[in-house]
Amino acid sequence: MKARVPLYGCTVTTKHGRKVILPYAEIFFLEKHGEQECECLIQLLKRNRPGTKIFIQDEIYAEITSLTSKGVILKLT
């Protein structure tokens, strides 16, 4: 299940509540971990930290839940 998803104009909320609008970001899905979690490589900020939320649309977002040796675990909601 490898897939590359470009995101244009997405909003990122850090775990401290700081909102950042990114003109471009990219998520590369590596493998699925259950129904709503995937291991991904992600190009967003300088540091990808657990608790960071990536708003793709108004009600659709992904949250970084943990870091792995390859990348991050994203929980999709």
**pLDDT tier, 5 (very low <50, low <70, confident <90, very high otherwise):** confident
- CB–CB of 39/68 below 8 Å? yes
What's residue 1's pLDDT?
60
What's residue 4's pLDDT?
85
More confident residue, 7 or 1: 7
Q: What angle do CA 23, 60, 52 make, to 5 degrees?
A: 65
Highest mean pLDDT among 4-13, 55-64, 67-76: 67-76
**Selection from 74, 63, 6 nearest residue 39 by Cα:** 74
**Residue where the block lists tokens 């970001």:** 25
Could you report the per-residue pLDDT of 7-60, keeping only the tens digit for each?
Answer: 888 888 887 888 888 888 888 999 998 899 999 998 766 678 888 888 887 778
